[in-house]
Amino acid sequence: MLSLNSGMYSLLAHIFLGFATAADGTHYTSPFVPPPNAEGIGWDAAFARAERLVSNLTLEQKVSLVTGFYGPGGCNGNIAAVESIGFRGLCLQDGPVGIRLADLTSTFPAGLTAAATWDRTLLYDRGRAIGSEFRGKGANVMLGPSAGPMGRHPLGGRNWEGFSPDPYLTGVAMSASIQGIQHEGVQACAKHFIGNEQETNRGGVNVDGKAVDAISSNIDDRTMHELYLWPFADAVKSGVANVMCSYNRVNQTYSCENSKLLNGLLKTELGFQGYVVSDWYATHSGMKAIEAGLDMNMPGPITDADPMALTSYFGKNTTAAVRNGSLPLTRVNDMAHRILTPYFYLQQDKDDFPTVDPSTIYVLLQTYGYSPELIGLPPAPPARDVRSDHKSFIRKMGAAGVVLLKNTNGALPLRNVSNIGVFGNGAGDPSEGLYFEGTKAGSTGLGFEYGTLSVGGGSGTGRSTYILSPLQALRERTNARIQLILNNEFIAGGDLSSIFPIPEVCLVFLKTWASEGYDRSEFENNWNSTAVVNTVAAKCPNTIVITHSGGVNTMPWASNPNVNAILAAHYPGQESGNSIVDILYGEVNPSGHLPYTIPKNESDYDIPIVNITGDAATDSSAWQSDFTEGQLIDYRHFDAKNITPLYEFGFGLSYTTFDITGPLEINKVGSINSSFPDPTRKIVPGGNPDLYTTLFEAKVNVTNTGNLTGATVVQSYLSLQGTDVPAGTPVRVLRGFEKLALNPGGWAVINFPLTRRDVSYWNVERQDWQIPRGQATVSVGFSSRDLRVMERVGLM
């Protein structure tokens, strides 16, 4: 593995500097970066074993390790077994909230919900719980977690699968999740690498018989490093087994054949030791993709027109390329090493690793409309129940991910209420089943109109064994009268005459559908949400609004004086009702904080989703998404443009109160001998290890100043100052947080470490992280705008 000594700077500048021009809207292709060989750093014994075993394989066996296929077990993708070396094959399964196509499994809170907890322990425990279910079903690879999309577009269809548009928060969530998943002996897959920030034409389309290339995300070098690559660096540092390359193009080249991304950034700069797997049908070439750094082609066939076809960009084409000399055998060996190493490291070859649950194939066939009996399968065997007591954890995490945005006139928690009104299509049981992959036909792309939304749609969804709705949980929790209207169209019509007497509290359940395959079309919650809230609030002076959503929503009704409380509950998983009722009745004190920014107006966000129509849609060169905003997305954009949000990034209320008592202390704990990290350090997973050296520690006292036990999120932000800080640097960036639970009057000391990477920016010309001259300001508080104490610290 390479170390960044001074002799490499000119080479790296030539390799990577092309990224630097994308911010001005110019487009270009990238020079070729050769593939580095893995060394198994951190996985030494497993790597040595993989090397030894691969040396005894035939070429055909090596190629079988890198070529996917659809096997008979019901996995989303497979790699064939090579029994002679103790390799039983790989089963790859969706998705990030649980096993998508299996029975007797759990549906966990979405990534966005998990991020709203700001709780490292819960993030890790979520990874362990999901990983244990994958292991129990015999899946070797969990296709998650997701750091892409990050959420550049607030209307991105898959934002709910990821964590946050902030790279630091997403990086922490990725690291904790990966460690939890792999603790259970299951391979985590960091996806989608990289710049997959919109669903619209993410992978290419066919317009009137003409193939049109996918959207090209044109990202400059500094933005790539400081924003989009940051959480993937944390994933690699955490030892992630594999990384999935995405459908889109980046700077004109498809991600899965982009050598600058795969060989350059991921494998060379970040020192990634695992394998790169394609998203399904995201491979557009054979030898070009292999030489660019793609190690495994999924699901194998060239197109989804015939998923059982044996034709593949890899397979026999790879064998032929080695034999005719156009592809070095050493490259195939490296691919095989990278694939086998995590398999052995996580001990998936041991007898105690389960085989694939034989019932899984029946679920897959049934889901896609095939009759097992008609194709000669015997009756389905009983499903293997892998849920354990995960429902209790899901309930707990779902509640922890609820953000209390407004609470006036003592609206919450509910006390001694005997007459409750329940309104909105998000309150009841789902009326179209418990599996949310597909959507209804129609121009809006909305699906699943009636019933609570526990997760979003697409391949990232889950197949729930049950979903407990808010209405059911309320009925189980209280003997109060419950009057209800669940039809939004009827409510919006204004006739609430059936509601009598006027409820003491009216609960309005709104929701927003988000799914893979297309982007959201509106900022407000779906299905006449504003009319629903205004109608109910006009009749009920104590209205509480609960939203279940896959991302950012505008709330034009937030200032309505009869709307006394607002709860953003996100996608909470199968215990949707219990999680929110625990908050409503105060059995759980809300502690979630926003992992994104809620605007006052949709125009406050100014990044459009590229959607070309008409004749221009057939021109591949027109599908360009220029990331000209650089790093200024979400709260960074609001800060740079001095826009006041409705609810800022990091915001969240509690039933108690907190304060920072005492000054902010900053101590220098590491020496800074150079603006740049030590170039003699050997690159390890995550990059130059000097980047992760702690240089400063910030210390504050936090006190619960209220009357109830509760938890809050203390957040640390950094502002770089100085004459050599480049233009486009955000006003402030998140550089630390801690979830803290305290009894009334209790206090604690919080320490925030600041590493070299934390206080550096990416120097495009030097191709390295640089600490600027001058000072930085460290600010600590409870959101990106509620900063209670600050202190300056000298850097260089």
Q: Per-domain residue ranges for the chain? A: 30-367, 393-588, 655-794
Query: What pLDDT sits at residue 9?
Result: 34
For 393-588, CATH number out of 3.40.50.1700, 3.30.590.20, 3.30.70.20, 3.40.50.280 equals 3.40.50.1700
Domain 655-794: state its class. Answer: mainly beta
**Helix (H/G/I), strand (E/B), else coil: 712:** strand
Q: Report the C-alpha gap between 595 and 580 in whole angstroms.
A: 18
CA distances from 796 to 250, 666, 761, 763, 776 (A): 35, 15, 13, 15, 10
Report d(CA 477, CA 348) in Å as an integer: 44
Beta carbons of 126 and 113 less than 8 angstroms apart:
no
Amino acid identity, position 371: S
Distances in whole angstroms, Cα of residue 437 to Cα of each of 60, 100, 200, 459: 37, 9, 17, 6
372 Rama class: left (phi>0) / alpha (psi -120 to 50) / beta: alpha
Residue 3 pLDDT: 36
Of 528, 350, 323, 330, nearest to 424 by C-alpha is: 528
The pLDDT, as a whole number, for residue 443 is: 33
**Cα gap 225→764, rounded to integer Å:** 10
For residues 525 and 569, the answer to whether their CB atoms sit within 8 Å is no
pLDDT at residue 433, as a whole number: 79
Q: How far apart are CA 284 and CA 168, in angstroms?
A: 32
- Which residues of the chain have a pLDDT value below 70? 1-30, 304-310, 438-447
pTM of the predicted structure, to 2 decimals: 0.95
pLDDT of the residue at 540: 97
Q: What is the 3 state secondary structure string of 130-142? A: HHHHHHHCCCCEE
What integer pLDDT is reported at residue 370 of this predicted model? Answer: 84
pLDDT confidence of residue 302: 75
Quote the CA–CA distance of 567 and 670 in Å, as a whole number.
43
In sign, the C-alpha dihedral spanning 476, 480, 481, 484 is: negative
263 phi and psi angles, rounded to 5 deg: -80, -40
Task: Write the CATH number of the domain with boundaries 30-367.
Answer: 3.20.20.300
How far is residue 381's CA from residue 707's CA, in Å, rounded to a whole number? 54
192 close to 164: Cβ distance less than 8 angstroms: no
pLDDT at 553: 98
CA distances to 234, 738, 793 from 696, rounded to whole Å, are 20, 17, 9
Q: Which residues are catalytic?
A: 279
Task: For residue 358, count other CB atoms closer than 10 A to its CB.
Answer: 17
